Amino acid sequence: MKHELPKLPYALEDLAPVISSQTLEFHYGKHHQAYVNNLNNLIVGTKFENADLETIVREADGGIFNNGAQVWNHTFYFSAFSPKPKAAPAGKLAEAIIADFGSFEQFKEAFAKAAATLFGSGWAWLVKDAYGHLEIVQESNAGNPLRTGLTPLLTCDVWEHAYYLDYQNKRPDYIQEFWSIVDWSVVEYRFGK
């Protein structure tokens, strides 16, 4: 199975000034594409040659895992954004956030802290466990909570290539602006699956 770079659901300039078109050109157009290309080259002749991305994320190791997970993670990350997002969760997701974090604001603070304090490169994730409870987890490098049986709902990429052109070394500024492009209708859909 040949993996392909998925199309973005918005134009490169649509998320500015939160994420500039220049950042998307590099982050999506170069980094994400490189992971796709590397994965396609690495899986030839392996048991993952015809596997979907979730199988690769759950079962592979080494370079196949690293590139496959980065393809999955980036696709998931980019697809949660909108230039005209739903600004806050509603319904069952909102209820779960209040039950597990106290309030939407407390959730945002805890998530931002997890994203800001992750040492080095990686991802902060909002996940749902098998019982429907929400958690925030940090994953280094290409880490993905699918590997531990959790259901990803939202992620923030804290690899420097996600924010350095727009925010330089100010990761907390990037995280603060991140909220203004998260489309909670996407996260609600993921929660309901």
| pLDDT cut 70: percent of the chain above it | 100
Mean predicted lDDT score pLDDT of the chain: 97
Q: What domains are defined for the chain?
A: 21-78 (1.10.287.990), 91-192 (3.55.40.20)
Decide if 88 contacts 184 (C-beta within 8 A): yes
> Is residue 115 packed enough to be buried (19+ CB in 10 Å), middle (13-18) or exposed (0-12)?
buried
- Confidence band (pLDDT; 50, 70, 90) for 1? confident
* Mean pLDDT within 59-84: 98
First-to-final CA distance of the chain:
25
What is the pLDDT averaged over residues 109-134?
A: 97
Task: Give residue 193's pLDDT.
Answer: 81
Mean pLDDT of 51-75: 98
The answer to whether 39 and 62 are in contact (CB under 8 A) is: no
Opening angle at CA 28, ends 27 and 32, nearest 5:
90
Whether this model's pTM surpasses 0.75: yes
Q: What is the DSSP letter of 81?
A: B
CB atoms within 10 A of CB 132: 12
pLDDT per position as a tens digit, 88-99: 999 999 999 999
Sign of CA dihedral 69, 49, 30, 86: negative
What tens digit of pLDDT does each residue of 128-178 get?
A: 999 999 999 999 999 999 999 999 999 999 999 999 999 999 999 999 999
How large is the average pLDDT for residues 4-14? Answer: 97
Task: Please tell me whether residue 186 adopts helix, strand or coil conformation.
Answer: helix
Give the orientation angle of helix 62-78 with respect to helix 33-43, to 10 degrees: 150
